[in-house]
């Protein structure tokens, strides 16, 4: 178990007051939103139950171009231009049109934090206090009060970036909610390939993975069915790869887009179901929707919009993505139904370079890196088009 670095005992002083913006959750979504507010002059508070970067929440693989554009390149541990896909009847290698990189979670979070000028406090968010306006009631602009284990903090602009629980709304409970489950281990070791396994012997609906990160491997299993336990399959896959199953890390993963706003609160990242179904890629969308949300908040603190307009615009932006998420969910539901013998020619077909390029470019367009702006300049993450 990682050692908890959060404040304890006498250090755990009361935390109360008003801010212009309160961001609950200091991981990918929360820190990206705070980054958008830098230099605005707004008083921004971020709260998280752990210190920034203390508790890794994923295998930490994301499109390289996103990491570069956000100025986070020093956190990159390993970069991959291919994806190796194993299945019972065939192993295929897909040459990707753009690369994925694994990164160091604490380092990436701290690099994001260096780009913010917000206040940070460790506190556990318990929920909302005071009367919660029913859905559909016009926005009166009143501050939203958030209860933490150190006191009540409030702001007119509040964002829930607390992950799948959606603490500041009605909550969300497995196994009935549309959630997948994921578990991984982090043994020491090196490898060259980013690998996934689509194999019913490992997990009936889902996939296994091995994401190398320079000196450690992130080996895990994700199940689209929340009732299927992934511990034994994770241990087996790890042992089959000749590694000890140590350094566990797991969580629920939402696989359905939710409302971007509710009761005058913004939701971003897993709390809004931004993790992409089928692939369970949630970091890139947390960056993407985090930027969108941060821009709306920025317009309010700059006096260019009121809160009601910002809530509506962000909600609309979120909803525009619904059809893409529903498509990915359809494929997620279809994949486990495909018999292994039929899967083999499909995987071979995807491996055809022109198809890989077409499909992965469409997939990247769900949350394109250009949205982050210019970043660090020309990127090497996208390889040159293949000559005809
Ligand atoms: C095993 C596993 C592997 C994964 N691998 C990948 C991957 O390689 N690439 C990828 O793109 N996606 C991956 N994902 C999905 C990805 O981790 C999530 O989609 C992503 O972390 C969502 O970011 P977020 O900022 O919304 O939430 P999170 O990263 O979950 O952050 C939530 C933050 O809120 C804090 N918090 C939670 N509750 C409270 C509370 N009550 N009070 C105070 N603070 C609280 C947490 O400490 C945390 O800092 C993986 C998921 C799992 C489970």
Q: Which residues contact 111 (CB under 8 A, 6 or more apart)?
A: 71, 72, 74, 75
Q: Whose CA is nearest to atom 39 of ligand 1?
A: 162
Pocket, ligand 1, Cβ cutoff 6 A: 25-30, 48-50, 55, 57-62, 124-125, 161-163, 167, 182-184, 211, 220, 249-251, 253, 269-270, 275, 280-284, 286
1 domain residue, yes or no: no
Backbone angles phi, psi at 345, to 5 degrees: -65, -30
Domain range for 364 is: 9-372
**Cβ–Cβ < 8 Å for 162, 125:** yes
Ligand 1 centre from 283 Cα, in Å? 8
Counted domains in the chain: 1
Residue 257 CA to residue 107 CA, distance in Å, equals: 29
Ligand 1 centre from 56 Cα, in Å? 8
**Cβ–Cβ < 8 Å for 257, 325:** yes
CATH code assigned at 244: 3.50.50.60
Helix (H, G, I), strand (E, B) or coil at 143: coil
290 domain residue, yes or no: yes
**Cβ–Cβ < 8 Å for 71, 112:** no
Q: Of the residues 166, 282, 284, 287, which should be mutated to test ligand 1's pocket, given the most ligand atoms within 8 Å of the CB? A: 282
Residue 157 CA to residue 299 CA, distance in Å, equals: 11
88 domain residue, yes or no: yes
Ligand 1 centre from 137 Cα, in Å? 31
Residue 383 CA to residue 388 CA, distance in Å, equals: 15
Ligand 1 centre from 28 Cα, in Å? 7
Helix (H, G, I), strand (E, B) or coil at 380: coil
209 domain residue, yes or no: yes
377 domain residue, yes or no: no
Nearest to 99 by CA among 116, 76, 120, 119: 76
pLDDT tens for the chain, residues 1 to 388:
444 455 666 677 899 999 999 999 999 999 999 999 999 999 999 999 999 999 998 999 999 999 999 999 999 999 999 999 999 999 999 999 999 999 999 999 999 999 999 999 999 999 999 877 776 676 778 999 999 999 999 999 999 999 999 999 987 777 778 899 999 999 999 999 999 999 999 999 999 999 999 999 999 999 999 999 999 999 999 999 999 999 999 999 999 999 999 999 999 999 999 999 999 999 999 999 999 999 999 999 999 999 999 999 999 999 999 999 999 999 999 999 999 999 999 999 999 999 999 999 999 999 999 999 864 433 333 444 444 3
User: Does 175 sit behind a cis peptide bond, omega within 30 degrees of 0 on the bond before it?
Assistant: yes
pTM of the full predicted structure?
0.94
Ligand 1 centre from 274 Cα, in Å? 11
385 domain residue, yes or no: no
Q: Of the residues 5, 22, 27, 194, which should be mutated to test ligand 1's pocket, given the most ligand atoms within 8 Å of the CB? A: 27
338 domain residue, yes or no: yes
């Amino acid at each position: 178990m990682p050692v908890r670095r959060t404040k304890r005992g006498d250090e755990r002083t009361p935390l109360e007051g008003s801010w212009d913006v309160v961001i609950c959750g200091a991981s990918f979504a929360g820190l990206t939103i705070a980054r958008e507010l830098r230099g605005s002059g707004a008083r921004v508070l971020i709260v998280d139950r752990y210190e920034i970067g203390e508790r890794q929440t994923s295998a930490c693989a994301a499109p390289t171009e996103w990491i570069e554009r956000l100025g986070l390149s020093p956190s990159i541990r390993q970069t991959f231009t291919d994806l190796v896909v194993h299945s019972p009847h065939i192993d295929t290698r897909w040459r990707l049109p753009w690369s994925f990189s694994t990164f160091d979670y604490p380092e990436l979070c701290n690099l994001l934090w260096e780009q913010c000028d917000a206040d940070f406090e460790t506190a556990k968010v318990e929920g909302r206090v005071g009367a919660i306006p029913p859905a559909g009631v016009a926005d009166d602009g009143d501050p939203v009060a958030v209860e933490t284990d150190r006191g009540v903090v409030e702001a007119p602009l509040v964002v829930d970036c607390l992950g799948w629980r959606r603490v500041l709304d009605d909550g969300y409970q497995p196994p009935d909610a549309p959630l997948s489950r994921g578990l991984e281990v982090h043994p020491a070791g090196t490898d060259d390939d980013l690998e996934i396994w689509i194999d019913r012997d490992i997990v009936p609906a889902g996939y296994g993975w091995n994401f190398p990160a320079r000196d450690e491997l992130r080996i895990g299993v994700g199940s689209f069915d929340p009732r299927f336990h992934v511990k034994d399959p994770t241990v087996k896959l790890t042992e089959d790869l000749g590694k000890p199953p140590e350094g566990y890390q797991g969580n629920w993963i939402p696989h359905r887009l939710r409302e971007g706003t509710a009761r005058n609160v913004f939701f971003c990242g897993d709390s809004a179901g931004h993790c992409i179904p089928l692939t369970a890629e949630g970091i890139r969308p947390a960056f993407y929707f985090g930027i969108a949300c941060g821009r709306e908040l920025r317009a309010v603190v700059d006096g260019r919009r009121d809160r009601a307009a910002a809530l509506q615009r962000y909600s609309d932006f979120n909803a525009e993505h619904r059809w893409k998420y529903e498509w990915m969910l359809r494929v997620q539901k279809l994949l486990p139904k495909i018999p292994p013998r039929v899967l083999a020619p499909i995987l071979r077909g995807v491996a055809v370079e022109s198809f890989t390029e077409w499909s992965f470019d469409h997939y990247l367009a769900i949350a394109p890196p250009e949205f982050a702006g210019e970043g660090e300049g020309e990127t090497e993450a996208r390889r040159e088009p293949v000559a005809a």
